[in-house]
Amino acid sequence: MKLVRYGQVGKEKPGLIDQNGALRDLSSVIPDIDAQTLGRKGQAHLAAIDPDTLPRVSGEPRYGAPVAHVGKFICVGLNYSEHAAETGAPTPEQPILFMKATSAIIGPNDDVIVPKDSVKTDWEVELGVVIGETARSVSVEDALSYVAGYVVVNDLSEREFQLEHGGQWVKGKSCDTFGPIGPWLVTADDVPDPQQLGLWLTVNGHRYQNGNTRTMIFGVAQLVSYISRYMTLLPGDVISTGTPSGVGLGQKPPVYLRAGDIVELGIDGLGTQRQLLRAHPNQT
């Protein structure tokens, strides 16, 4: 299934994309795409519904992030060896974890605001993993059974804030609008192998990133198992699994985003995003 949330900001409704690509409204069935919906029972309930019996949504409504009330937005750093190399960092021996503020989350095609005084706003296409069942110290072998589905994430980063302002990376990762998610959540049963997904990103039509999840250092099952050792993963939590090479920081010389730029990105079978970069309203 492809589950979506559509409508105005703060007023999104639940929906699904049928086999013909049409948007169907789920408001009469569930209140939202949230923790209750994402579990095995919730998904089984939705899977039993004939999409043709649901109202078809006309026009081209805005898509919001396909998961409501995200509890934790957990990110994995330097999870592709070629990306670690381009940033001058050693290949991690264990997953590097950091948190991204949930207030950064926006829809997949919403405008991205360049932070005030930013000169190093960067892009990162990533596979997002959405948790569907409570996971505590789960094994690698069982880890994927706790996954509700997968999404496209743009893990936008302000490199000066991240690397030059001291402390942890979270400062450069959590600016408002720095977490586009979507356009839809593809349930795990429709993603046979999360380690065989191509992912790409362009800026103003120029392709900078062109990778595949098979080159992850730590795969999805390893990450879910590893993270669940240190914190309980709850339904609706999102894990952003790292980016391949081709970020702005890694260009020679570095290339960063400016107001007016267009970023487009996507992952095989998970859809695409498109964001216009806009200046901060208080930027002088």
Each residue of 5-41: pLDDT tens digit?
999 999 999 999 999 999 999 999 999 999 999 999 9
For residues 137-161, average pLDDT: 97
The reported pTM is 0.96
Residues 212-240: tens digit of each pLDDT: 999 999 999 999 999 999 999 999 999 99
Q: 142: pLDDT confidence band, cut at 50, 70 and 90?
A: very high
Q: 284: pLDDT confidence band, cut at 50, 70 and 90?
A: low
Mean pLDDT of the chain: 96
Least confident segment among 90-94, 109-113, 222-226, 268-272 = 90-94
Delineate the domains of the chain, giving CATH numbers in brackets.
2-53 (no CATH), 73-279 (3.90.850.10)
| Predicted pLDDT of residue 248 | 96
| Predicted pLDDT of residue 89 | 80
Cα–Cα distances (Å) from 259 to 27, 35, 95, 109, 276, in that order, read 36, 35, 33, 15, 8
In whole angstroms, give the CA distance from residue 45 to residue 77: 36
Residues 253-275: tens digit of each pLDDT: 999 999 999 999 999 999 999 99
Are 156 and 172 spatial neighbours (Cβ–Cβ below 8 Å)? no
Tally of residues, the chain: 284
Percent of the chain, pLDDT > 70? 100
